[in-house]
C-alpha cells in the first residue's frame, strides 16, 4: 500500500511538472521586444474594475543605459545581491526560505531572485500555489538561458510596481522626485529600492521611519555591487 501511495504521488508530481513545462511562455521575443503589458498589470486592472474604479497606469519605457547606475546598484542590494552569481534561481536562498517557511507551517518568505520576480510579473500571479511556483522557477531559468543579464534587469526595472498604478523606474522617478530615471542620485535611488518590498504602502516621496531605515542600509551597501553592463 505504501508503495502504491508513493507511486501515485510520483505520478501526480510528474503530471504537474509536465503540465507546467508544456504551458510555459516563449521568452525569446523579449530579446528585442518590450512587453506591452504584464500579467501583474492586468491583475491590477481587473482588481480596480471589480471595485468600480478606473485602472491607473503610469509607465514610460526607458533603455537600460538611461537608468541611473545608483538605482541599479540600490535595487540589486535591496532585491538580489547575488544576481551576478546565479542562473535565475538562488538555490541556497531558496532552501533557506523553504526551511523557514516549513518551520512556520506556512509560506511567508520569498527568497525570489530578480529573474524570478520578472517571470512572475510578466506571466504569472502572486499566488503561493506550488504549480505556480514551479512555473516561475522554470521560466526564470529560461529567461537566463535566452537573455543577457542586462536585458533581464532592463525588463525588471521597466515593469515592476512602484506605487498605485506606477510601473517602472522612469514613472517612479518622475512621480516621486520630478526627475528622470537617468538623473536619480544615491539617496533617491535607495528610497526607491527600499520601497519595492511594499510599493503600495511605502512612499519614497514621504518616507516612513521603516523606509528611511531601509534607505540607510541600502546606501551603506551600494558600493559593494556592480550592475551588469550591456554586451558590446
Nearest 10 degrees: Cα torsion 23, 148, 194, 71: -150
Residue pLDDT, tens place only, 15-37:
555 555 567 999 999 999 999 99
User: Mean pLDDT, the chain, as a whole number?
Assistant: 86
Q: Average the pLDDT over 41-59 and give the result.
A: 96
Q: How far apart are CA 29 and CA 48, in angstroms?
A: 29
Q: Answer yes or no: is pLDDT of 68 > 80.
A: yes
CB under 8 A, 24+ apart: contacts of 45-53:
none
pTM value is 0.83
Residue 94 predicted with pLDDT over 60: no
d(CA 23, CA 81): 30
Question: What 8-state DSSP symbol labels residue 98?
Answer: H
Residue 192, CA atoms < 13 Å, CB-side half-sphere: 34
116: confidence class by pLDDT, cuts 50, 70, 90 = very high
Give the DSSP letter string of 119-181.
HHHHH--S---HHHHHHHHHHHHHHHHHS-HHHHHHHHHHHSB-STTEESHHHHHHHHHSS-G
CA distance 124 to 136: 7
**Computed from CA positions of residues 105, 107, 108, 113, in that sequence, does the dihedral angle turn out positive or negative?**
positive
Least confident of 17-26, 48-57, 108-117, 138-147: 17-26
The pLDDT value recorded for residue 102 is: 39
Query: Are the C-beta atoms of 43 and 184 separated by less than 8 Å?
Result: no
114 close to 83: Cβ distance less than 8 angstroms: yes
Instruction: Find the mean pLDDT for residues 43-69.
Output: 96
Instruction: Kindly report which listed range (66-75, 85-94, 100-109, 175-184) carries the lowest average pLDDT score.
Output: 100-109
Query: Which 8-state DSSP code applies to residue 182?
Result: G
CA distance 25 to 30: 11
Q: Which residue has the higher pLDDT, 63 or 228?
A: 63
Amino acid at each position: 500500500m505504501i508503495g502504491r501511495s508513493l507511486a501515485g504521488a510520483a505520478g501526480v508530481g510528474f503530471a504537474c511538472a509536465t503540465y507546467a513545462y508544456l504551458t510555459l511562455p516563449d521568452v525569446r521575443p523579449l530579446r528585442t521586444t518590450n512587453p506591452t503589458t504584464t500579467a501583474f498589470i492586468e491583475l491590477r486592472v481587473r482588481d480596480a474594475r471589480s471595485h468600480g474604479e478606473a485602472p491607473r497606469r503610469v509607465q514610460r519605457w526607458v533603455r537600460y543605459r538611461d537608468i541611473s547606475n545608483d538605482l541599479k546598484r540600490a535595487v540589486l542590494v535591496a532585491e538580489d545581491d547575488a544576481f551576478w552569481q546565479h542562473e535565475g534561481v538562488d538555490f541556497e536562498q531558496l532552501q533557506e526560505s523553504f526551511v523557514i517557511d516549513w518551520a512556520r507551517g506556512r509560506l511567508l518568505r520569498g527568497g525570489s531572485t530578480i529573474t524570478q520576480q520578472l517571470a512572475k510579473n510578466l506571466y504569472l500571479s502572486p499566488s503561493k500555489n506550488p504549480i505556480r511556483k514551479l512555473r516561475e522557477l522554470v521560466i526564470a531559468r529560461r529567461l537566463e538561458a535566452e537573455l543577457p543579464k542586462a536585458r533581464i534587469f532592463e525588463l525588471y526595472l521597466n515593469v515592476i510596481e512602484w506605487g498605485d498604478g506606477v510601473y517602472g523606474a522612469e514613472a517612479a522617478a518622475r512621480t516621486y522626485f520630478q526627475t528622470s530615471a537617468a538623473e536619480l542620485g544615491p539617496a533617491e535611488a535607495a528610497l526607491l529600492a527600499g520601497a519595492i518590498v511594499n510599493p503600495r504602502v511605502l512612499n519614497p516621496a514621504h518616507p516612513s521611519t521603516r523606509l528611511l531605515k531601509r534607505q540607510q542600509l541600502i546606501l551603506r551597501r551600494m558600493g559593494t555591487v556592480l550592475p551588469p553592463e550591456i554586451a558590446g
